[in-house]
């Protein structure tokens, strides 16, 4: 019997639903390494905030994935407690009405970044000059000068 390679598991993941793929990965401990390399976690608002605040929870998430810049998504909506974006380094970061955020420079490594109504942000030059971000959407941020219409950058690599 031949062994399956990581590419084969990626194909299985592409052609099955996320729930079916997770069910398959949870069937045996032998799939633990494959799961760590291939599963993408999109945390909801509750667990995204827990990821931001709780170092133990963040380490637990990082133990279960290989690379947060490829396998983790975070969502923050109407959250005025988020200040430090250094803890938000992930593949996808969605910030909606997070008014206390000022510095978005640590988010330059994200692949997908959506910022809406974050009125504390004044400078987005680092985001616009970065080539790592494939999808960038910035809209309705009051302190960003010359933001008359949304900034949408969608670059295919």
Digit-coded pLDDT (tens) for 77-101: 999 999 989 999 899 999 999 999 9
**Mean pLDDT calculated for residue range 128-133:** 81
Given this model, what pLDDT does residue 156 score? 57
Q: What is the pLDDT of residue 145?
A: 79
DSSP class of 129: H
Q: Is the pLDDT of residue 1 over 50?
A: no
Give the separation between CA 143 and CA 77, rounded to whole angstroms.
Answer: 19
* pLDDT over 80 at 157, yes or no: no
| pLDDT of amino acid 118 | 92
- How many residues can be counted in the chain? 157
Q: What is the pLDDT of residue 140?
A: 87
2 pLDDT higher than 60: no
Q: Which residue has the higher pLDDT, 43 or 144?
A: 43
Burial status of residue 140 (CB atoms within 10 A of its CB: 0-12, 13-18, 19 or more): middle
Instruction: Give residue for tokens 């000059």.
Output: 129
**Percent of the chain whose pLDDT exceeds 90:** 53
Whole-prediction pTM:
0.86
- Give the pLDDT band of residue 14 (cuts 50, 70, 90): confident
pLDDT higher than threshold 90 for residue 143: no
136, two tokens: 């960038």
Nearest-angstrom CA–CA distance, 39 and 22 = 8
CB atoms within 10 A of CB 138: 22
Based on the number of CB atoms within 10 Å of its own CB, is 59 exposed (0-12), middle (13-18) or buried (19 or more)?
exposed
Given a cut of 60, whether residue 24 has pLDDT beyond it is yes
């Amino acid at each position: 019997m031949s062994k399956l390679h990581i590419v084969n598991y990626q194909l299985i993941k592409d052609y099955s639903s996320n729930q079916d793929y997770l069910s398959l990965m949870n069937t045996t401990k032998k799939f633990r390494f494959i799961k760590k390399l291939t599963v993408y976690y999109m945390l909801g608002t509750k667990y995204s905030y827990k990821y931001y605040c709780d170092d133990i929870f963040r380490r637990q998430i990082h133990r279960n994935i290989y690379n947060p810049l490829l396998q983790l998504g975070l969502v923050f909506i109407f959250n005025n407690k988020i200040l430090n974006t250094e803890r938000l380094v992930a593949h996808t970061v969605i910030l909606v009405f997070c008014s206390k955020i000022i510095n978005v420079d640590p988010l330059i490594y994200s692949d997908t970044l959506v910022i809406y109504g974050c009125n504390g942000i004044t400078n987005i030059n680092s985001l616009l000059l970065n080539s790592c971000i494939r999808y960038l959407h910035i809209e309705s941020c009051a302190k960003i000068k010359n933001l008359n219409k949304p900034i949408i950058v969608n670059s295919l690599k």
